[in-house]
Structure 1
Amino acid sequence: MSRIQIFTDSTCDLSLELTQRYQIGMVPLYVNFGEDTYKDGVTMKPARLFDIVASSGKLPKTAAPSPNDFYEAFAPHVARGEQVVYIGLSAELSSTIQNASLAASQFEEGQVTVIDSRNLSTGIGLLVLKAAHAAEAGSSVQEIKELIEGMTSKIEVEFIIDTLDYLHKGGRCTSLQAFIGSLLKIRPIVKVVNGAMILTDKVRGKREKALEQLLANALAQKEQMDEQVLFVTHAMAEEEANYVKRQIEQHTTVKEVMVTDTGCVVSSHCGPHTVGIVFAKK
C-alpha cells in the first residue's frame, strides 16, 4: 500500500510544529500589496501585514495558488509513488479548490484527491489533523475522503471581530456602518455556515462582553463537542486567546485546547485582535 501524503493550504492556520509533526504539506496563498506579491506565512507574516495596512490605509488583495503551484507541490510525491490528499479552503470563499482540482486532473486518476473543507482557518486545520491521524492509522484514500466529507458540516467556526475597519476597507460594510459601529463599539461575531461566513451577533460594548458571548455560544454546545481537540485561534490577541483557552479547559472535558495564530489571509479580512473558537461536533 502506497504512503498517503496529506496536503492543505496556508489558510488552515495550523502551527509549524503541528504541520511538521504530522508531515503535512502546505501550499501558500498569496498576499498582494499593489505590485508587491508575498506568500502567506512564508514571505509575509500577520504582524508585518498589520503594520503595512496601518501605514498605507489599504488592505492587501489575497489570491489563490495557481494550478501550477499545486502541480509543483504534488508532483514530487506522486513521482515517489505516494497518494496525495489535499484538503483546502472552502470553494465558497476562494478559487483555491478549483485550482487544486485543475492540478489534480493532470495526474492519473486516484493519484491526487481534492476535498473541499467547506471551512476556513483552523476549521480546515481540524479536518487536516483528522486526515493525518487516519492516514497514520492505515486508512485508505477513499476512507479518508469519506471521513472528512462526513465531518465538514460538524465543524463549528466562530470569531469575534474587534474592529469594523478591515471589513470596511475590504468592502464588506459601508462607511456609515463602520462609523456607527465604531461609535457604538459594536463587535461582530461571524460564523462559517455551509462554507460561507455569516454574521450571527453584534455585541455592543466592551471587548470583554464580546469574548463572553463567544464563550457562551461555544459552551452552549459543550455536550456535543468532540473531546479530542479544540482550537482557539487569534490575530495578535494572545492574552484573550489564553483566557478563552482556560475557560474552555475549566468548563468542558476537551482533552487538548490549542492556541494558534491566524495567517495573513484570515487576518487581512478580519483584522487584529480577532479571536475564534473552533471545534468538531460528535
Structure 2
Amino acid sequence: MKLAVVTDSTAFLSDEVKQKENLFVISIPVILDGQIYQEGIDIKANDYYSLLKSSKKFPTTSQPALGEMLDLYQSIANQGYDTIISIHLSSGISGFVNNLQSIASSVEGVTIYSFDSLITSSPMGHMVAVALEMGEEGRSIEEILQRLTEIKEHSSAYLIVNDLNNLVRGGRLTNGAALIGSLLKIKPILTFTDGKIVVFEKIRSSKKAFSRVEKLIGEQIKKSPYPLKFFVIHGNDLETAEKEKEALQKKYPEIDVQISYFGPVIGTHLGEKAIGIGWSPQ
C-alpha cells in the first residue's frame, strides 16, 4: 500500500507533519467583505483577525469545490499512490466530508476513504499525524482506520467564546436558544456532541467558566481508557492560552498540554478571543 493522507486547512498541524511528502491539504475559502481568501494560502490567522475587526459585513465560509477535490485526488493517484485517507472537519460544522463520498469512486487507480473527524483544529490534526505515522510503520488500512475511529470516539473539546452571535448567525450552534446567554451576559461553555457545537453549561463569568472547564478536564483524565494529550487553542489570544496552559499543568502535572490556534475558518464561527481546550488519546 502506498498511502496518502488528505486533510483540510482547519486542521492544526505541526511543522514536522506539514513537511510529510504524502500529506496534502485542501484550503477552505473564507469570504470577507466580498473578498475570497484561501485559508493557509493567502491569509494567515493573525492577518485574518485584523481584517475581521474592520470588516463591514458578517464573514462567511464556503466549501472547496468538488471539482478541485477531484483534481487533487487524481493528481495524487497519478503520483503512484493507491490509497487515500481523507480526514476532514466535522460534518456537524460542514457538509464537505459527506459530499466527498459522491466523488470518491470517480478517481481511477486509487481507493479513497473519507473520514469524518467529528471535530476540527488540533484534535483533527492529531488524527492526521497518527494516520501518517501508522502508514510509515506499514500498518494496514484496517488498522489505521480502526485507530482513527478510537481517537475520534475519545476526542472532544470545551469552548469558551466571547460572543455567541457568530455561531448563531452562521448556523453552527445547534441549540440556538443559547443566544439568550449572551443577552444575559452569561459565559457559556460549549462542546461537541455528535460533531455539532452545542451549549454544555451556562456560567456567570469567564473566570468561573475556565475554573469549571479545568474541573471537567480532571474528570476526562479519570474516565478516559487512554492517556490523553491536551490542546489549548486560541483565537488571537495567546496570552490567555498561555495562562490556561499553566493552570492546567499546575492542577494536572502529569498531562501533556500544547498551545495552538484557530485559523480563519473556525475563527469566523467562534469569533476573536475564543478559547478551546481539546483532548485526544495519545
| TM-score bucket (shorter structure) | 0.7 to 0.9
Distance in 1, Cα, partners of 2:134 & 2:171? 40
Distance 1:107 1:54, change over 3 A: same
- Three-state SS of the structure 2 residue aligned to 1:81 is coil
Q: CA RMSD in A?
A: 2.8
Distance in 2, Cα, partners of 1:217 & 1:22? 38
CA contact 1:6–1:128 (8 Å) conserved in 2: yes
Shift of 1:172: 6.5
- Aligned twin of 1:51: 50
* 1:171-210 map, 5 Å: 181=182, 184-205=184-205, 207-210=206-209
- Aligned twin of 2:258: 258
Q: What TM-score do you get using the length of structure 1 for normalisation? A: 0.86
* 1:18-97 map, 5 Å: 18-20=17-19, 24-82=23-81, 83-97=83-97
User: How many residues end up aligned between the 2 structures?
Assistant: 278
- Aligned twin of 2:132: 132
- Deviation track 1:177-221 (CA, whole Å, cap 9, x = no partner) reads 768725x4322211111111110012212x322222222211222
Shift of 1:252: 4.5
Distance in 2, Cα, partners of 1:92 & 1:113? 19
- Aligned twin of 1:99: 99
Shift of 1:271: 0.6
Distance 1:150 1:44, change over 3 A: same
Shift of 1:274: 0.9
Distance 1:196 1:169, change over 3 A: closer
- Three-state SS of the structure 2 residue aligned to 1:220 is helix
Distance 1:69 1:217, change over 3 A: same
- Aligned twin of 2:214: 215
Structure 2, unmatched stretches of 5+, are none
Letter in 2 for 1:116: D
- Aligned twin of 2:9: 10
Distance 1:81 1:73, change over 3 A: same
Distance 1:92 1:252, change over 3 A: same
Q: Which moved more, 1:143-152 or 1:259-268?
A: 143-152
Shift of 1:5: 1.5
Distance 1:249 1:136, change over 3 A: farther
Letter in 1 for 2:279: F
Distance 1:84 1:172, change over 3 A: closer
Distance in 2, Cα, partners of 1:170 & 1:159? 16
Q: What TM-score do you get using the length of structure 2 for normalisation? A: 0.86
Shift of 1:28: 1.1
- Deviation track 1:212-241 (CA, whole Å, cap 9, x = no partner) reads 222221122212454363221111121121
- Deviation track 1:65-90 (CA, whole Å, cap 9, x = no partner) reads 11122122222321122121111112
Identity of aligned residues (%): 25
Shift of 1:260: 0.7
Distance in 1, Cα, partners of 2:198 & 2:91? 15
